[in-house]
Chains A and B, each alone.
Chain A
Amino acid sequence: MADVRCPMCGKLNPAELEVCQFCQARLKPFQASSLTEAEPPASGQPSTSKAEPAEDVLPDWLQSLRQRQESLPEAAEPQEDVPDWLSNLRAPAEGTPSAAEDAVPDWLSGLSGDTPSQAEAAPAEPEQVFFSGEESDWLSKISPSQPAEPPETLAQVTPGEAESNLAETLPEESPIQNEEETPEWLKGPAEEPGGAAGQTGLTDWEQEGQLGDLGASSETQDELPDWMAGILARQATGPEPARTRPEIPLAALGAAALAQSAGEPPAPVQEPQPKGVEPFSSKEGLLAELGALDTGELPAWLAGITPLVAEKQEPTPQAAPVESGLAPSDELPSWLEAMRPVESAAILAAMPDLSHETIESAGPLSGLRGVLPAEPGVAQGQKPHVHSIKLQISETNQANALLIEQMIKTEGQARPIVRRSVITTQRILRIGIAVVLFLAVLWPLVTGGPQASLPGFTPETYAANQLIEGLRAGAPVLLAFDYQPGLSGEMDAAAAGVIDHLMVKGAYLAVISTASTGSAQAERLLAMVNQAGQHNFTSPDQYTDLGFIPGGPTGLLSFALSPRQVMPLALDGKSPWQGSPLQDVTAVKDFALTIVITDNPDDARAWVEQVGPALENQPLTMVISAQAEPMVRPYVESNPPQISGLVIGLSGGASFEDLNGRKGLGQTYWNAFSLGLVAAVLLILVGGLFTAGSTVWARTKETEGEKKA
């Protein structure tokens, strides 16, 4: 069996369910069998049987019928097989007027012309449903054996009584015996029994044409309320498809009837009355009709109340909003049409044009425009957006790509080497400086040039001279050659006079070095001085070369602690410690004088730090380069002085030689050195002034340019 869509939430439910499993709304309208046998369904569980609905879920019209049933006396002809409600309807027809006859609506009173008083005896409780203990006129017309009963009696039957007596109160006979007495709204379908019965979907009692007899007569048709006529007319055309036929609860139907009974004249039904449908003519027919309700199929008389779908209605610009959900005005009964709320022009004007909105096609809101969709948009299938598969490149990216491509292309291409200019400004300046210096130095060397006065001796130079002068012949002197061959020009000139003085004094020289080239330097200088001073110094008689001490300060400390163990052999392979004069030397302090010839201030510091403390009171003299003077002078000027004597560079050597009155390399170089120094000073001074002036002038121009700008 096909699934049923819930009218409230729009979700599909199995057909056998009575209530929606999602929102608990009724899927099927209430039926007679369900009214008698239905039990209150459990919460959330669909009703699987025709249980009797609870009393509180009964439609109002049915409840009012029950109440009227209870309040009225029992019928005179109790018939077990006649529904109580029907019998109750008959009892008042025998002459028991009801006080409620005054409230009977006109339409209902019009149905029973014989008993206008009865028709006026409307039920005191207008909320009561149709059926009452007393038969109304229309109902009496339905039952041929029964007198016409005032319509007000219809409302006096309580729903409970109607439920229990429904099967019993139905007349066995067809209540419609006299077509002329049958109300119009009940007659319709019966005139065309074949047409009505031949259509599919008709319930049993519709097919029996019970109700059709009621509305068959023209007289009764004229007297039928419009809404009922419309129902009958629709019955003739057949029931609408189940999916388009909204299931109207009976309570709504009863409410409409009650509203009509409250005094509002029923709107004329504009549709042809359904024909061929007879009202409840027999018990079985009524039961069949009510039973058909359980199957979800509306009876013909109820199907006729189905509001028209929105497609049949063309909304006008100032038409009422379709959210009202009611049938179009051309189909609505007059009394219902009168209930339509009056809308002001402003509201109508403010109503948005929803013609472009989609029309809902399912659920109770079907036919309406602008309704929020029951399904979210994401659940609705959409055609995916089409994206371009081409790469989106901006202009900047294109420019960069072109640049990289060019760079890659040129990478493999050989580029011509830009030859640097051989002659540059800086090179010219450097060559010029070299020429000036070379000339300044060469001139005195070549010509014997102007004789520059020798420099004066300093106190420390004089102290060194005096220290050597105080040596005895053969005194062991530790002579350290710790300078590099590159400074041999200056150091040879500075130390030549000192060594010459030592040779003159006849001291025994013990040569040592912490530089790998020290021994070679010593041999070279000793040979030079030996030759220049015409000495006869030979090894090992006058001097010995102890060799090279690696390790820098570590080697010095080791030598200072144990010189014999650190330097056991001389360079000639013989032990210098065996014979005199070094046989008495066991520590460095045993040397009469220690002279260090060094160009490096760090070497000088190492000798002062490592060997100086081991010398104790023995003097330490140094012959240093001019570049080491600033860093060595603090050791000289300490109190007590750590360095006793100091000969500084070429000037110190020259002055030392001058003190001794012996000419040596110092005095040989002095003229050229002095003139070259003057030339260098002039070059630096002039060049510095020129560059400083040009820099200041350039900055001034920049400042003026910035100010102007």
Chain B
Amino acid sequence: MNLANMGLVDLVGVLLGFVFTLFIFSYILGDNPLFRLALYIFIGVAAGYAVVMAWYNVIWPQLLLPLVTGSTSERLLLLLPLLLSGLLLMRISPRLAGWGTPVIAYLVGVGVATAIGGAVLGTLFPQVQASINLFDLTAANQNGSNLLLYVMDASVILVATITTLIFFHFGVKSRSVQAAQATSANRGVVIESLAWVGQIFISITFGALFAGVYTAALTALVERLYSSVKLVQFLLPLFTPK
């Protein structure tokens, strides 16, 4: 962003952005009306922009325009989504909201089927295959990696995967519940120990996630402060006597 080449409108916009940045940073001192003002403006803008994009990208070019300019087959094919869209719009009114329930059911059916297919073909099968192929030494040779370290890493990955799955209790209850249900103690101890190990790996994963979140947040801070510094550096000469 080159402030020097920026027009007045953009400069005003930069200043507005800086002001909003200060409003949001004031939350560090505590909740205040300036913070809330900036927040509510942002929500309004985001909601409006989302509707604009939905209209411009989907509703107008894919539904309404073909009904006007499209062929007969296209029009006939779009009658049902037009009807469904009208039913879905009835959800705005509490009295007529029931008419939109079949449309919601339609969307749920499509979404659920999509999720199932993607989970099976996109995650379940490939990841299981990946776990199986952990000990594929040919890939290690191709990479030139130390085989011993490769095998050790693969073992750790495999143990982490299995113990993490065990920790999520797919039908396996905790030891206390098992004791209450009078199940055999040996099996409970083994499963519970494996779950404990899985919990260790989950803690490591969550630690990595936290580090990534903080990295992203810190980068955002850097970007905001960088923009602010650039603005100040741009404006400072205007207010400093030569």
Contacts and interface: CB of A to CB of B under 8 A. Distances in A.
Interface in A600-641: 605-606, 608-610, 612-613, 625-631, 634-635, 637-639
B122 A610 contact: yes
Contacts of B2: 531
B121 interface: yes
B214 interface: yes
A629 B213 CA distance: 10
A610 B49 contact: no
Nearest to A566: B62
Interface stretch (B84-92, B97-105, B168-176, B203-211): B203-211
B222 A548 contact: no
Given A520-B49, A531-B2, A627-B209, A547 B226 contact: no
A613 B117 CA distance: 11
Contacts of B222: 441, 445, 489, 669, 672-673, 676
B28 interface: yes
Interface stretch (A163-171, A248-256, A400-408, A427-435): A427-435
B216 interface: yes
Contacts of B219: 489-490, 493, 626, 649-650, 669, 673
Contacts of B81: none
Of A492, A630, A677, the most chain B CB neighbours within 10 A belong to: A630
Interface residues of A, number: 67
Contacts of B110: 554
A487 B224 CA distance: 11
Interface stretch (B33-41, B51-59, B180-188, B189-197): B51-59
B149 interface: no
Interface size class of B (residues with CB under 8 A): 35 or more
A516 interface: yes
Nearest to A639: B133
A550 interface: yes
Of B2, B216, B225, the most chain A CB neighbours within 10 A belong to: B216
A630 B157 CA distance: 13
Given A650-B215, A672-B226, A441 B221 contact: yes
B225 A571 contact: no
A224 B208 CA distance: 136
Nearest to B204: A630
Contacts of A609: 118-119, 121-123
A328 B122 CA distance: 120
B130 A613 contact: no
A608 B58 CA distance: 24
B229 interface: yes
A599 interface: yes
Of A442, A486, A626, A677, the most chain B CB neighbours within 10 A belong to: A626
B218 A638 contact: no
A565 B78 CA distance: 13
A625 B216 contact: yes
A598 interface: no
B53 A548 contact: yes
A91 B209 CA distance: 144
B82 to A, nearest CB: 17
Contact of B130 (A441, A554, A637): A637
B129 A629 contact: no
Contacts of A625: 212, 216
B57 A599 contact: no
Interface of A: 422, 427, 430-431, 434, 437-438, 441-442, 445-446, 486-490, 492-493, 516-517, 519-520, 528, 531, 547-554, 557, 566, 568-569, 571, 599, 605-606, 608-610, 612-613, 625-631, 634-635, 637-639, 642, 649-650, 668-669, 672-673, 676-677, 680
Given A547-B56, A638-B126, A673-B222, 5 more contacts: A519-B53, A609-B119, A625-B212, A639-B136, A650-B219
25 contacts: A430-B28, A441-B222, A441-B225, A486-B220, A489-B220, A489-B224, A493-B223, A517-B50, A528-B1, A548-B53, A548-B57, A550-B58, A554-B111, A557-B117, A571-B57, A605-B123, A608-B122, A626-B213, A631-B209, A638-B130, A639-B130, A649-B212, A669-B222, A669-B223, A672-B222
Pairs A-B, 6 closest by C-beta atoms: A609-B122, A489-B223, A609-B118, A638-B130, A627-B212, A626-B212
